[in-house]
Amino acid sequence: MKHIKTVNKPGLQKSLKTGGCGECQASCQSACKTSCTVGNQVCEK
């Protein structure tokens, strides 16, 4: 494409079906614990 460069392979919609195992780590967002937004995480699977 000339006007658009897509930089990732998004998996959000797919994960609606495959996700939810819950093995991932907790993700506190508070400053005192180095706020880990879920965006910073990778899936444990």
Partner 1 sequence: MKAKIHKFEQNGEYILLDINSGAVHVIDKMIFDIMDIFDGGNDAEVMEKLSASYPKADLEEALSELHELMEAGELFAPDIDVPPTFKEKGLVKSLCLMVAQDCNLRCKYCFGDGGSYGQERAVMSPEVGCRAIDYMLENCGPFRKHFEVDFFGGEPLMNMKTVKAVAEHVHELEKAKGVQIKLTMTTNGMLLNDENIKWLNDNNVSVVISTDGRREVHDRMRPDAGGHGTYDKVMKNFKKFVDSRKGEHYYMRGTYTNENLDFTEDVLAMHDAGFDVLSMEPVVLKDSPLALREEHLPRIYEEYDRLTEAYLKRHREGKGFFFFHFNMDLSNGPCVAKRLSGCGAGHEYFAVAENGDLYPCHQFVGREGYKLGSIYDGITNKELPRYFRESHVLNKEKCRECWARFFCSGGCHANDDLFHGDIRKSYELGCELQKKRLECAIYVQAMLALEKMEQGEKVGEFTTAEGIR
- Choose between 38 and 42: whose C-beta lies nearer to ligand SF4: 38
| Interface of this chain with partner 1, residues 12 to 41, rule: CB under 8 A | 12-13, 15-16, 18-41
DSSP-assigned states of every residue in 10-29 = --HHHHHHH-----SPP---
List the one residue out of 5, 6, 15, 13 whose CA is nearest residue 42: 15
User: Which residues sit at the interface with ligand SF4, rule CB under 6 A?
Assistant: 28-30
The distance of closest approach from Cβ of residue 10 to ligand SF4 in the complex, given in angstroms and rounded to an integer, is 18
Q: 21 with 35: CB under 8 angstroms?
A: no
Chain positions contacting partner 1, by CB under 8 A: 1-13, 15-16, 18-44
